[in-house]
Protein backbone atom coordinates (compact mmCIF):
# COMPACT_ATOMS: atom_id res chain seq x y z
CA UNK A 1 0.00 0.00 0.00
CA UNK A 2 1.26 3.48 -0.84
CA UNK A 3 1.92 5.98 1.91
CA UNK A 4 1.40 9.75 1.71
CA UNK A 5 2.53 12.75 3.70
CA UNK A 6 1.30 16.35 3.41
CA UNK A 7 3.34 19.39 4.43
CA UNK A 8 1.07 22.40 4.89
CA UNK A 9 2.11 26.04 5.04
CA UNK A 10 -0.06 29.12 5.42
CA UNK A 11 -3.57 29.83 6.58
CA UNK A 12 -6.59 27.76 7.63
CA UNK A 13 -7.71 27.65 4.02
CA UNK A 14 -4.60 25.74 3.11
CA UNK A 15 -5.08 23.54 6.17
CA UNK A 16 -8.55 22.71 5.00
CA UNK A 17 -7.38 22.11 1.42
CA UNK A 18 -4.88 19.64 2.89
CA UNK A 19 -7.70 17.88 4.74
CA UNK A 20 -9.55 17.57 1.42
CA UNK A 21 -6.41 16.30 -0.33
CA UNK A 22 -5.93 13.69 2.41
CA UNK A 23 -9.56 12.63 1.89
CA UNK A 24 -8.99 12.09 -1.83
CA UNK A 25 -5.76 10.18 -1.29
CA UNK A 26 -7.30 7.88 1.31
CA UNK A 27 -10.20 7.20 -1.07
CA UNK A 28 -7.53 6.05 -3.55
CA UNK A 29 -6.14 3.65 -0.95
CA UNK A 30 -3.15 5.70 0.25
CA UNK A 31 -2.39 5.58 3.96
CA UNK A 32 -0.96 8.40 6.05
CA UNK A 33 2.76 8.31 6.93
CA UNK A 34 4.02 10.63 9.62
CA UNK A 35 7.62 10.74 8.39
CA UNK A 36 7.83 12.53 5.01
CA UNK A 37 11.07 10.71 4.23
CA UNK A 38 9.34 7.32 4.41
CA UNK A 39 6.36 8.28 2.28
CA UNK A 40 5.83 7.27 -1.35
CA UNK A 41 4.01 10.50 -2.09
CA UNK A 42 4.71 13.88 -0.52
CA UNK A 43 2.38 16.83 -1.12
CA UNK A 44 3.70 20.30 -0.36
CA UNK A 45 0.77 22.69 0.08
CA UNK A 46 2.40 26.08 -0.13
CA UNK A 47 1.82 29.68 0.99
CA UNK A 48 3.07 32.84 -0.64
CA UNK A 49 1.83 35.55 1.66
CA UNK A 50 5.29 36.73 2.73
CA UNK A 51 8.75 36.29 1.27
CA UNK A 52 10.04 34.01 4.04
CA UNK A 53 7.23 31.59 3.18
CA UNK A 54 8.69 31.35 -0.35
CA UNK A 55 12.20 30.85 0.89
CA UNK A 56 11.28 28.15 3.34
CA UNK A 57 9.42 26.26 0.66
CA UNK A 58 12.33 26.17 -1.78
CA UNK A 59 14.66 25.09 1.04
CA UNK A 60 12.45 22.16 2.00
CA UNK A 61 11.77 21.25 -1.63
CA UNK A 62 15.51 20.92 -2.29
CA UNK A 63 15.81 18.36 0.49
CA UNK A 64 13.55 15.93 -1.37
CA UNK A 65 15.75 15.75 -4.43
CA UNK A 66 17.92 13.01 -2.92
CA UNK A 67 14.88 10.94 -2.10
CA UNK A 68 13.76 11.15 -5.69
CA UNK A 69 17.22 10.04 -6.85
CA UNK A 70 17.35 7.06 -4.50
CA UNK A 71 13.82 5.95 -5.22
CA UNK A 72 12.45 6.61 -8.71
CA UNK A 73 8.95 5.61 -7.53
CA UNK A 74 8.85 8.42 -4.96
CA UNK A 75 6.51 11.20 -6.05
CA UNK A 76 6.51 14.82 -5.06
CA UNK A 77 3.63 17.14 -5.66
CA UNK A 78 3.50 20.94 -5.14
CA UNK A 79 0.20 22.75 -4.73
CA UNK A 80 -1.31 25.74 -2.95
CA UNK A 81 -0.71 29.44 -3.45
CA UNK A 82 2.86 29.45 -4.77
CA UNK A 83 2.18 27.73 -8.10
CA UNK A 84 -0.62 30.20 -8.82
CA UNK A 85 2.17 32.61 -9.74
CA UNK A 86 3.69 31.93 -13.17
CA UNK A 87 7.21 32.91 -12.02
CA UNK A 88 7.10 30.18 -9.38
CA UNK A 89 6.04 27.48 -11.83
CA UNK A 90 8.86 28.63 -14.11
CA UNK A 91 11.31 28.35 -11.25
CA UNK A 92 10.07 24.88 -10.34
CA UNK A 93 10.39 23.77 -13.97
CA UNK A 94 13.86 25.23 -14.20
CA UNK A 95 15.46 24.35 -10.87
CA UNK A 96 13.27 21.50 -9.64
CA UNK A 97 12.12 19.86 -12.87
CA UNK A 98 12.02 16.50 -11.09
CA UNK A 99 8.84 17.57 -9.25
CA UNK A 100 6.16 15.17 -10.48
CA UNK A 101 2.96 17.16 -10.16
CA UNK A 102 2.14 20.84 -9.74
CA UNK A 103 -1.41 22.11 -9.35
CA UNK A 104 -3.02 25.23 -7.91
CA UNK A 105 -5.66 26.33 -5.46
CA UNK A 106 -8.51 26.23 -7.97
CA UNK A 107 -8.40 22.63 -9.14
CA UNK A 108 -7.67 20.53 -6.10
CA UNK A 109 -10.28 17.96 -7.13
CA UNK A 110 -8.08 17.12 -10.11
CA UNK A 111 -5.38 15.49 -8.01
CA UNK A 112 -6.54 11.86 -8.53
CA UNK A 113 -6.57 12.37 -12.29
CA UNK A 114 -3.13 14.00 -12.26
CA UNK A 115 -1.71 11.15 -10.20
CA UNK A 116 -3.07 8.61 -12.63
CA UNK A 117 -1.76 10.51 -15.65
CA UNK A 118 1.64 10.79 -14.04
CA UNK A 119 1.76 7.05 -13.43
CA UNK A 120 0.31 6.01 -16.80
CA UNK A 121 2.21 8.34 -19.10
CA UNK A 122 5.35 8.88 -17.03
CA UNK A 123 5.00 12.57 -17.86
CA UNK A 124 5.26 15.34 -15.31
CA UNK A 125 1.92 17.03 -14.71
CA UNK A 126 1.39 20.78 -14.48
CA UNK A 127 -2.19 21.97 -14.00
CA UNK A 128 -2.76 25.55 -12.91
CA UNK A 129 -6.14 27.21 -13.33
CA UNK A 130 -6.98 30.84 -12.57
CA UNK A 131 -10.38 31.90 -11.35
CA UNK A 132 -12.19 28.61 -11.65
CA UNK A 133 -15.88 29.55 -11.26
CA UNK A 134 -16.82 25.96 -10.41
CA UNK A 135 -14.83 25.26 -7.27
CA UNK A 136 -16.97 22.66 -5.59
CA UNK A 137 -16.68 21.69 -2.03
CA UNK A 138 -19.63 19.38 -1.79
CA UNK A 139 -17.99 16.29 -3.26
CA UNK A 140 -15.10 16.55 -0.83
CA UNK A 141 -14.63 14.08 2.00
CA UNK A 142 -11.94 15.66 4.14
CA UNK A 143 -9.84 13.77 6.65
CA UNK A 144 -10.16 16.19 9.57
CA UNK A 145 -7.22 17.16 11.72
CA UNK A 146 -9.49 16.99 14.76
CA UNK A 147 -12.46 14.74 15.37
CA UNK A 148 -14.31 17.37 17.39
CA UNK A 149 -13.79 20.49 15.35
CA UNK A 150 -13.95 21.31 11.68
CA UNK A 151 -12.96 23.95 9.17
CA UNK A 152 -15.77 24.91 6.79
CA UNK A 153 -15.27 27.08 3.71
CA UNK A 154 -18.00 29.66 3.20
CA UNK A 155 -16.31 31.76 0.54
CA UNK A 156 -13.42 31.17 -1.83
CA UNK A 157 -11.10 33.84 -3.18
CA UNK A 158 -10.90 37.54 -2.46
CA UNK A 159 -11.96 40.70 -4.30
CA UNK A 160 -10.41 43.26 -2.00
CA UNK A 161 -6.99 43.76 -3.51
CA UNK A 162 -5.32 45.27 -0.49
CA UNK A 163 -2.24 46.70 -2.20
CA UNK A 164 0.26 44.55 -0.25
CA UNK A 165 -1.53 41.23 -0.62
CA UNK A 166 -0.98 38.33 -2.99
CA UNK A 167 -4.10 36.37 -1.99
CA UNK A 168 -6.50 37.82 -4.63
CA UNK A 169 -4.01 36.67 -7.27
CA UNK A 170 -3.53 33.19 -5.83
CA UNK A 171 -7.12 32.41 -4.85
CA UNK A 172 -9.07 34.14 -7.61
CA UNK A 173 -12.32 36.08 -7.38
CA UNK A 174 -14.63 35.77 -4.43
CA UNK A 175 -17.37 33.14 -4.56
CA UNK A 176 -19.85 32.34 -1.80
CA UNK A 177 -21.17 28.84 -1.23
CA UNK A 178 -24.93 28.36 -0.87
CA UNK A 179 -26.10 28.79 2.71
CA UNK A 180 -28.17 25.60 2.42
CA UNK A 181 -25.07 23.61 1.39
CA UNK A 182 -23.02 24.99 4.25
CA UNK A 183 -25.75 24.17 6.76
CA UNK A 184 -26.08 20.62 5.37
CA UNK A 185 -22.34 20.14 5.62
CA UNK A 186 -22.28 21.29 9.24
CA UNK A 187 -25.22 19.03 10.10
CA UNK A 188 -23.26 16.09 8.69
CA UNK A 189 -20.18 17.16 10.63
CA UNK A 190 -22.14 17.37 13.88
CA UNK A 191 -23.55 13.88 13.27
CA UNK A 192 -19.92 12.79 12.94
CA UNK A 193 -18.90 14.20 16.34
CA UNK A 194 -18.00 17.81 15.55
CA UNK A 195 -18.72 20.33 18.33
CA UNK A 196 -17.04 23.43 16.94
CA UNK A 197 -16.92 24.84 13.42
CA UNK A 198 -14.67 27.53 12.04
CA UNK A 199 -16.31 29.28 9.08
CA UNK A 200 -13.61 30.28 6.62
CA UNK A 201 -13.35 33.13 4.15
CA UNK A 202 -10.76 35.78 3.34
CA UNK A 203 -13.50 38.30 4.12
CA UNK A 204 -16.45 36.53 5.73
CA UNK A 205 -18.39 39.78 6.00
CA UNK A 206 -18.80 40.01 2.24
CA UNK A 207 -20.45 36.56 2.15
CA UNK A 208 -23.59 36.66 -0.01
CA UNK A 209 -25.10 33.60 -1.64
CA UNK A 210 -27.23 33.52 -4.79
CA UNK A 211 -30.37 33.61 -2.68
CA UNK A 212 -29.21 36.83 -1.06
CA UNK A 213 -28.31 35.38 2.34
CA UNK A 214 -25.76 37.48 4.23
CA UNK A 215 -23.10 36.42 6.70
CA UNK A 216 -25.43 37.34 9.59
CA UNK A 217 -28.15 35.12 8.04
CA UNK A 218 -25.63 32.30 7.80
CA UNK A 219 -24.56 32.62 11.43
CA UNK A 220 -28.18 32.60 12.57
CA UNK A 221 -28.86 29.48 10.50
CA UNK A 222 -25.78 27.67 11.81
CA UNK A 223 -26.70 28.71 15.35
CA UNK A 224 -29.88 26.61 14.97
CA UNK A 225 -27.99 23.38 14.33
CA UNK A 226 -28.62 20.99 17.21
CA UNK A 227 -25.62 19.34 18.80
CA UNK A 228 -23.21 22.06 17.70
CA UNK A 229 -21.60 23.96 20.61
CA UNK A 230 -19.36 26.58 19.14
CA UNK A 231 -19.21 28.74 16.02
CA UNK A 232 -16.08 30.67 15.05
CA UNK A 233 -15.20 32.49 11.87
CA UNK A 234 -12.22 33.99 10.13
CA UNK A 235 -11.48 36.63 8.80
CA UNK A 236 -13.57 39.76 9.31
CA UNK A 237 -12.97 42.87 7.27
CA UNK A 238 -13.76 46.17 9.00
CA UNK A 239 -15.06 47.66 5.76
CA UNK A 240 -17.82 45.05 5.40
CA UNK A 241 -18.78 44.06 8.94
CA UNK A 242 -22.50 44.81 9.45
CA UNK A 243 -24.45 45.87 12.52
CA UNK A 244 -26.61 42.79 12.00
CA UNK A 245 -23.52 40.61 12.22
CA UNK A 246 -22.34 42.40 15.36
CA UNK A 247 -25.79 41.85 16.91
CA UNK A 248 -25.27 38.10 16.46
CA UNK A 249 -22.76 38.25 19.33
CA UNK A 250 -25.72 39.13 21.53
CA UNK A 251 -28.35 36.83 20.05
CA UNK A 252 -26.57 33.66 18.90
CA UNK A 253 -25.52 31.68 21.97
CA UNK A 254 -23.22 29.35 20.01
CA UNK A 255 -21.23 32.18 18.49
CA UNK A 256 -17.94 32.36 20.39
CA UNK A 257 -17.24 35.68 22.06
CA UNK A 258 -14.15 36.33 20.01
CA UNK A 259 -13.32 38.17 16.82
CA UNK A 260 -10.22 38.47 14.68
CA UNK A 261 -10.44 41.96 13.23
CA UNK A 262 -7.29 42.87 11.29
CA UNK A 263 -6.48 46.56 11.62
CA UNK A 264 -3.21 46.45 9.58
CA UNK A 265 -2.32 50.05 10.55
CA UNK A 266 -3.54 52.87 12.79
CA UNK A 267 -2.67 55.56 10.27
CA UNK A 268 -5.44 56.71 7.95
CA UNK A 269 -2.91 57.65 5.31
CA UNK A 270 -1.37 54.18 5.36
CA UNK A 271 -4.79 52.49 5.42
CA UNK A 272 -5.71 54.44 2.31
CA UNK A 273 -2.57 53.37 0.46
CA UNK A 274 -3.25 49.81 1.59
CA UNK A 275 -6.69 50.10 -0.08
CA UNK A 276 -8.42 48.99 3.10
CA UNK A 277 -11.49 51.25 2.74
CA UNK A 278 -11.82 52.22 6.41
CA UNK A 279 -10.13 54.70 8.69
CA UNK A 280 -9.06 54.45 12.32
CA UNK A 281 -12.21 56.20 13.53
CA UNK A 282 -14.51 53.73 11.76
CA UNK A 283 -12.44 50.87 13.10
CA UNK A 284 -12.68 52.12 16.68
CA UNK A 285 -16.45 52.63 16.28
CA UNK A 286 -16.76 48.94 15.28
CA UNK A 287 -14.79 47.91 18.36
CA UNK A 288 -17.11 50.04 20.54
CA UNK A 289 -20.18 48.43 18.98
CA UNK A 290 -18.78 44.96 19.48
CA UNK A 291 -18.05 45.69 23.13
CA UNK A 292 -21.43 47.26 23.77
CA UNK A 293 -23.21 44.18 22.36
CA UNK A 294 -20.79 41.77 24.02
CA UNK A 295 -18.77 43.33 26.86
CA UNK A 296 -16.39 40.39 27.31
CA UNK A 297 -15.63 39.77 23.66
CA UNK A 298 -11.94 39.06 23.02
CA UNK A 299 -10.37 40.80 20.05
CA UNK A 300 -7.28 39.85 18.06
CA UNK A 301 -5.75 41.53 15.05
CA UNK A 302 -3.15 41.54 12.28
CA UNK A 303 -0.75 44.46 11.89
CA UNK A 304 1.78 45.22 9.18
CA UNK A 305 4.72 47.45 10.05
CA UNK A 306 6.97 49.15 7.53
CA UNK A 307 4.40 49.45 4.77
CA UNK A 308 5.84 51.73 2.03
CA UNK A 309 5.77 55.36 3.08
CA UNK A 310 5.04 54.60 6.75
CA UNK A 311 6.51 57.51 8.73
CA UNK A 312 7.39 57.46 12.43
CA UNK A 313 4.18 59.44 12.97
CA UNK A 314 2.14 56.85 11.04
CA UNK A 315 3.69 54.09 13.09
CA UNK A 316 2.90 55.88 16.34
CA UNK A 317 -0.73 55.93 15.25
CA UNK A 318 -0.56 52.14 15.05
CA UNK A 319 0.78 52.06 18.61
CA UNK A 320 -2.00 54.43 19.61
CA UNK A 321 -4.81 52.32 18.16
CA UNK A 322 -3.32 49.23 19.83
CA UNK A 323 -3.41 51.05 23.18
CA UNK A 324 -6.98 52.18 22.58
CA UNK A 325 -8.35 48.79 21.54
CA UNK A 326 -6.22 46.76 23.95
CA UNK A 327 -6.08 43.59 21.89
CA UNK A 328 -6.12 40.19 23.52
CA UNK A 329 -3.58 39.07 20.96
CA UNK A 330 -1.99 40.27 17.76
CA UNK A 331 -0.14 38.87 14.77
CA UNK A 332 2.45 41.41 13.75
CA UNK A 333 4.20 41.24 10.39
CA UNK A 334 6.97 43.17 8.73
CA UNK A 335 5.79 44.32 5.32
CA UNK A 336 7.05 41.97 2.65
CA UNK A 337 6.91 43.14 -0.98
CA UNK A 338 5.06 40.61 -3.14
CA UNK A 339 5.80 40.66 -6.86
CA UNK A 340 2.72 41.57 -8.86
CA UNK A 341 1.04 43.59 -6.09
CA UNK A 342 0.74 47.40 -6.37
CA UNK A 343 2.64 48.13 -3.14
CA UNK A 344 5.71 46.25 -4.34
CA UNK A 345 6.11 49.01 -6.94
CA UNK A 346 5.71 51.88 -4.47
CA UNK A 347 8.94 53.82 -4.38
CA UNK A 348 9.04 54.72 -0.71
CA UNK A 349 9.93 51.27 0.67
CA UNK A 350 11.09 51.36 4.30
CA UNK A 351 14.63 50.22 5.16
CA UNK A 352 14.93 46.90 7.02
CA UNK A 353 16.48 48.35 10.18
CA UNK A 354 13.60 50.79 10.66
CA UNK A 355 11.07 47.98 10.03
CA UNK A 356 12.73 45.78 12.63
CA UNK A 357 12.97 48.55 15.18
CA UNK A 358 9.26 49.38 14.78
CA UNK A 359 8.34 45.73 14.79
CA UNK A 360 10.10 45.20 18.13
CA UNK A 361 8.39 48.21 19.69
CA UNK A 362 5.00 47.03 18.51
CA UNK A 363 5.51 43.45 19.70
CA UNK A 364 6.60 44.71 23.11
CA UNK A 365 3.47 46.84 23.43
CA UNK A 366 1.14 44.10 22.16
CA UNK A 367 2.67 41.44 24.42
CA UNK A 368 2.40 43.73 27.45
CA UNK A 369 -1.30 44.30 26.74
CA UNK A 370 -1.92 40.56 26.18
CA UNK A 371 -0.32 39.78 29.53
CA UNK A 372 -2.37 42.43 31.32
CA UNK A 373 -5.56 41.20 29.70
CA UNK A 374 -4.82 37.64 30.73
CA UNK A 375 -4.16 38.53 34.38
CA UNK A 376 -7.87 39.09 34.95
CA UNK A 377 -8.49 35.36 34.37
CA UNK A 378 -6.48 34.42 37.48
CA UNK A 379 -8.58 32.22 39.82
CA UNK A 380 -11.50 32.30 37.35
CA UNK A 381 -13.22 29.14 36.17
CA UNK A 382 -13.44 28.85 32.38
CA UNK A 383 -14.97 26.32 29.95
CA UNK A 384 -12.31 24.73 27.76
CA UNK A 385 -12.87 22.58 24.68
CA UNK A 386 -9.99 20.13 24.94
CA UNK A 387 -7.98 19.81 21.75
CA UNK A 388 -5.17 17.51 22.78
CA UNK A 389 -2.22 16.77 25.00
CA UNK A 390 -0.26 19.92 25.77
CA UNK A 391 3.01 20.38 23.92
CA UNK A 392 4.88 21.15 27.10
CA UNK A 393 4.11 18.16 29.29
CA UNK A 394 2.47 14.74 29.01
CA UNK A 395 -0.01 14.95 31.86
CA UNK A 396 -1.24 18.34 30.73
CA UNK A 397 -3.96 18.97 28.17
CA UNK A 398 -4.60 22.02 26.08
CA UNK A 399 -7.68 23.63 24.64
CA UNK A 400 -9.43 26.90 23.99
CA UNK A 401 -11.95 28.97 25.86
CA UNK A 402 -14.96 30.45 24.13
CA UNK A 403 -12.86 33.62 23.78
CA UNK A 404 -10.06 31.59 22.08
CA UNK A 405 -7.64 31.81 25.01
CA UNK A 406 -5.18 28.93 24.96
CA UNK A 407 -5.42 27.00 28.23
CA UNK A 408 -2.99 24.33 29.44
CA UNK A 409 -4.40 22.34 32.33
CA UNK A 410 -3.94 19.20 34.34
CA UNK A 411 -6.65 16.56 34.69
CA UNK A 412 -6.92 12.99 35.98
CA UNK A 413 -8.87 11.94 32.92
CA UNK A 414 -7.35 9.90 30.12
CA UNK A 415 -6.76 11.30 26.67
CA UNK A 416 -9.66 9.31 25.21
CA UNK A 417 -12.02 10.59 27.86
CA UNK A 418 -11.17 14.25 27.64
CA UNK A 419 -10.24 15.21 24.06
CA UNK A 420 -13.21 16.81 22.34
CA UNK A 421 -14.95 17.47 25.65
CA UNK A 422 -15.74 20.84 27.21
CA UNK A 423 -14.34 20.86 30.76
CA UNK A 424 -14.29 23.42 33.57
CA UNK A 425 -10.83 24.67 34.39
CA UNK A 426 -9.67 26.88 37.25
CA UNK A 427 -6.90 29.25 36.16
CA UNK A 428 -3.89 29.23 38.51
CA UNK A 429 -1.38 31.16 36.44
CA UNK A 430 -1.58 33.65 33.59
CA UNK A 431 1.02 34.20 30.88
CA UNK A 432 1.28 36.33 27.73
CA UNK A 433 0.12 33.64 25.33
CA UNK A 434 -1.63 31.15 27.59
CA UNK A 435 -3.52 30.47 30.80
CA UNK A 436 -2.47 27.57 33.05
CA UNK A 437 -4.81 25.72 35.37
CA UNK A 438 -6.43 22.48 36.56
CA UNK A 439 -9.73 20.78 35.86
CA UNK A 440 -12.34 21.28 38.59
Footprint of ligand SAH (CB under 6 A): 49-50, 164-165, 167, 202-203, 235, 237, 262, 264, 302, 304, 333, 335-336, 338
> What is d(CA 129, CA 157) in angstroms, rounded to the nearest whole number?
13
Which residues contribute to the site for ligand F3S (CB under 6 A)?
10-11, 13-14, 47-49, 80-81, 166-167, 170-171
Which lies closer to ligand SAH via its Cβ, residue 298 or residue 408? 298
Cα-only R_g, the chain? 22
Q: How far is the CB of 369 from ligand SF4 (least distance, A)?
A: 23
- Confirm or reject binding of residue 246 to ligand SF4 (CB under 6 A): no
Residue 336 interacting partner from ligand SF4, ligand F3S, ligand SAH, none (CB closer than 5 to 8 Å by kind): ligand SAH
Instruction: Give every strand in the sheet of 149-153, ordered side by side.
Output: 149-153, 196-200, 230-234
Q: Given candidates 16, 110, 232, 237, which one binds ligand SF4 under the rule CB under 6 A?
A: 237
Cα 319 from chain centroid (whole Å): 25
Residue 161 interacting partner from ligand SF4, ligand F3S, ligand SAH, none (CB closer than 5 to 8 Å by kind): ligand SF4
Which H or E run includes 51? helix 51-63
- Confirm or reject binding of residue 248 to ligand SF4 (CB under 6 A): no
Q: Given candidates 79, 111, 162, 197, which one binds ligand SF4 under the rule CB under 6 A?
A: 162
> What is d(CA 309, CA 204) in angstroms, rounded to the nearest whole number?
29
Q: Is 312 exposed, middle or buried (0-12, 13-18, 19+ CB in 10 A)?
A: exposed
Alpha-carbon torsion angle 103, 105, 111, 115, nearest 10: 20
User: Pairing mode, if any, of strands 3-8 and 149-153?
Assistant: unpaired
Residue 8 interacting partner from ligand F3S, ligand SAH, ligand SF4, none (CB closer than 5 to 8 Å by kind): none
Residue 308 interacting partner from ligand SAH, ligand F3S, ligand SF4, none (CB closer than 5 to 8 Å by kind): none
Residues 164-223 that bind ligand SF4 (CB under 6 A): 165, 167-168, 202-203
Cα 367 from chain centroid (whole Å): 21
* Residue 187 CA: distances (Å) to CA of 115, 179, 192: 32, 12, 9
Which lies closer to ligand SAH via its Cβ, residue 58 or residue 333? 333
Q: How far is the CB of 13 from ligand F3S (least distance, A)?
A: 5
Residues of this chain that bind ligand SF4 (CB under 6 A)? 158, 160-162, 165, 167-168, 202-203, 237
Amino acid sequence: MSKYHIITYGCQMNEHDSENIAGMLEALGYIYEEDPYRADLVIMNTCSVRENADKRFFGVLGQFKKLKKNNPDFMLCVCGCMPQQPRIVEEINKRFSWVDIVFGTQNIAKLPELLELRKKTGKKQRAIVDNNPDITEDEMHPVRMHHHKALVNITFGCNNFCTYCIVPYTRGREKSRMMSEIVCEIERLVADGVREVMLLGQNVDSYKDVQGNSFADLIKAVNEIKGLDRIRFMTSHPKDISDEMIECFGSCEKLCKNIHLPVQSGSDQVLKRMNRHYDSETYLAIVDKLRSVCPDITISTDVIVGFPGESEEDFEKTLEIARKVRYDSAFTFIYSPREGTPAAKFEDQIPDDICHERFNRLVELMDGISLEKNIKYKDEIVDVLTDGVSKTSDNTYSGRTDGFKLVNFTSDKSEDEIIGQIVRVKIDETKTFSLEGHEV
